Chain A
Amino acid sequence: MLVTFLRIALAGIRGRALAALLTALLAAVTAAVLTLALGLRSVADEPWDRTFRETNGAHLIALGGPEVARLARLPGVVEAAPPVPGSFTSFALAGQRFALNALATGPEPPRVERPAVTSGRWLTAADEIVLEQSFAAALGIRPGDAVDAAASSGRIRLRVVGVAAIASGAPYPDHQPGIGFVARDALVAIQPDSERWIWSQAVRLSEPARADELAGRARQSFRPESRVVVESWFERRSEAGDRSRTTTIVLTAYSALLLVAGVLVLVNLVGGRAVTRHREIGLLKAVGFTPRLVALLFLVEQLLLGLAGAGAGVAGGAVLLPLVAGDSAALLASTPATVTGAHVALSIAAVCTLMAVATVLPTIRGARLGVVHALAAGRSRRSAGAASRSIPLGRPLPLTLGLKEALGRSSRTLIAALALTVTVAALVAGLTFETTTRNEANIDAGALAAISRPGDRAAPGAADQLAPGHPDPIAVPGMSARLRPIVHSLNAVLVLIAAINLLAIVVLTVRERTRDLAVLKAIGLTPAQLGRSVHAAQTVAVAAASALGIPLGLALFLGVYAIVNGDTDRTAIPPWWALAATPLLLAAAVWAITLAPARRASQLDVTTALSRE
């Protein structure tokens, strides 16, 4: 029985290949978007704490001379790694010198404050270096590159073999100099005089909540002239939180936008399935299916498609997540986001649950009808509602017919309009962000230069210990400039989602309208007019998205900016022509997306289309 049932379900899928493909595609897009949104949210969700956990971060760190090793003997310490020596040096890149804090962790990363490799591998040889990821990202250095670090003998070539995350204070360039992990031999080459090394001792405590109290006690235990600095994990987290606040707000806003986009795709999916299958129900009941069996059959059919689509979507989301969230993780100096089992389960469950609801409810309604009524209901279609009637039939006929069609399918048009509105709002926010970034750059020209603040790992006076080739001061790009690639890549994702959603809506609509389009063709609409009527049906969504999306985008950006900066004095609204061009570009994009379905509509065979019942 089960095998027969599955065979019938699979035959049903094969029999409606296009509809099945669209359903699976929408399920895949929904699952991918949900996976991305959840992943992005997890990047923004306490990035420092996550990195701290994954790197077995230190509750206390002492920086200074070799005596910092005494920190490991402090009461309450439960875990300590051997002290790590380091030295400041610099290297040249693109005509500029950059300071580097070379920490000689060696081939075995320390147990505490253990760097988490995010790309490449850990170092194994004396001529290799692993760079901290926000430093590598800011300088555009990847595994496989090489840096020539200043050394006592001139310089030493170090091959970058990996990039790693650590739970330091603020990410580079707020925290300078950048950090690199090298072998002891490389450190000796950079600074042979071990008296000039800076040692760091990282420990974990049995009572982390008492870290500040123990840090004070530790400071008292070192002689004042030793110039040892002791920092608790609370101080580092506080500094990291201040620096990453903007990034987390932006990422949270985008994960919310992605969730909205995902929900809209889901609603579209539900709407697509809500197309009543009364006629099929009638046919099945006529051959002996009970209402329960009909519902079960449709449910199995949809769940097969949903599982296949959602599985592919989650896999796609997992592939996309590092591309979309990679920059964010680097900017937050956190470990990269990964798709967790919970994300996978949540995405697939959300898609399958809604597909089940979307299938079962109309099926139950349909199954209550008698066979004859169900067969007849399968032929009935929408009626000219009030919104559709408000548009008088007139010339140009393709436009008015398209508008009437769009308003006759108000729920689907609403979904299309909302999906486009979200995308337009995100794009306008991105445009305003870009304009504001330039405005900030103009305001800050000259003022942003010359920030060279030794990092919190440097002992007082550490700047004096810089190796030959002291770097020039490094300009710290504004946060807006650093967020630019993240904002633009997330906007690209939203555009992609909106395009797929819109395409699915138009394809579904054309498919459902096949008979109506054939009738229009039969009474004299030319193929070109049919195509134009399909394009025209999207005018409502484009107009609504333009009218709502532009002010919403401006408000979204100004709102986020005000939350981040406290005021909007430095913001700049995009020029009027850029905003005026938005609806035109949107219309052109929608026209391009609708091209293939419109062409399909214009070329349909009237006899074949009308013979379908």
Chain B
Amino acid sequence: MTKPAESGGECANCNRRQAFIKLGAASIGVACTGAAVFGYEFLSPNVLYEPSPIVDSGKPDQYPPGTVTQDLKSGIYIVHGPEGIYAMSAVCTHLGCLTAWNTDLGIIACPCHGSKFTRDGTKIAGPAPRPLVWLRASISDDGDLLVDRSAPLERKEFVRT
């Protein structure tokens, strides 16, 4: 860094110089902020090529009373209990592994860390902090059972056919 000529103790151009330094620093600041916004916008995809959260599970009469059906592709359970049909996410609430329905034992078990659930999602054993998530199920105009994987339910809801 070269210092301005300071012969005579007074610096004639110092105010001007400082103003330019401030202007330069401000421009760099604006450019950096712009680049950060620009980068953030670019990195956030505007369109996602992910499967739709709404799953068409076909006609409800293919789920007889008392059965638990696992849809491996979409990661959900369709259960036909005494109160009606309901849908649950098969994703374990511990660390997101896909659980599996064990017909012989009549429980849902997670292969990763040994969490176990009943058929209504209540935890029996293991590290899972919460019961399995219930999902909104509805009947479409065509009479198909629709499950919305993006709509976790607060209270239990059943579809009656």
Q: Do A and B come from one complex?
A: no
Q: Which residues of B contact A (CB under 8 A)?
A: none
